[in-house]
Homo-oligomer: A and B are copies of this chain.
Amino acid sequence: MTKWRTEISSSGEDAFIRGKPLEEVMEMDFSDGIWLLLKGRMPSDEESDLFNTVLSCCIDHGVGNPSTVASRTVQSGGNGMNTSVAAGVMALGDKHGGAIEDCMEMLQSDKDARKIVEEKLENGEKIPGLGHKVYDEQDPRAEKIFGKAEELELDGESVKKMKEIQRIFAEEKVELVINVDGAIAAVMSDLGWEPELGKGFFIIARTPGLVAHVREEMDEEDFRREEGEYTGEKE
């Protein structure tokens, strides 16, 4: 057996988070504590501000998506808060929240914008971070995130690269907006976050929403039974 070793935190009388006494962490805003925990240093005021915008943006997006449905369905089977919230977290797989992570990987790769667009077009693949089913001209949340990053002077190479990708794709194929996933991926990359944590911060940001939905479902008396149809044979 490997004994558990960690650089993250300790507990008990001698409790630390990334080198800072827990009592000092208790003086911090929760979002700054999250930043410290995951990046090992405190954010600047500007970084903290932009990080809050990104977290709050992902906090909850209605009731029909897989994570919410999974959480509420598991609660409805007769389960407590922890099991039900966990089911929603599990649903956040490659196809649900995964576009942020994919887009961060793309932006942080060595390939330049033109190369990326060319390869995607050649392979007939979608570009993560581009396109929205409703917005044709601009996604107001993406614009808000970009505006905030600019105002705080935190927009860097990844924001620039994302906008280039959008411009080149428009020239080569069709005009698509940068969506909220693309904007988040770009500013999180410029804030120095690695793609390996792309799904992680989304989980952190969405867990409050799952808790709220599970709590709401607890007031439903009925067990959730959805309509199904058997399309197989009958002997």
Chain A, residues 117-131, CB within 8 Å of chain B (1/0): the string is 000000000000000
* A156 contacts B by Cβ under 8 Å: no
Contacts of A87 in B (CB 8 A): 70, 74, 86-87, 90-91
Per-residue CB contact flags for chain A residues 50-61 toward chain B (1 = under 8 Å, else 0) read: 011101110111
Chain B residues near A208 (CB-CB < 8 A): 33-34, 37-38, 204
Interface residues of A (CB under 8 A from B): 1-31, 33-34, 37-38, 51-53, 55-57, 59-70, 72-74, 76-83, 85-87, 89-96, 98, 134-135, 140-141, 144-145, 196-197, 199-201, 203-205, 207-209, 211-216, 218, 220, 222-235
Q: Are B77 and A96 in contact (CB under 8 A)?
A: yes
**In this complex, what residue of B is CB-closest to A88?**
B86
The residues of B that contact A29 with a CB separation of less than 8 Å are 29, 31, 52, 56
Q: Is the CB of B215 within 8 A of A196?
A: yes
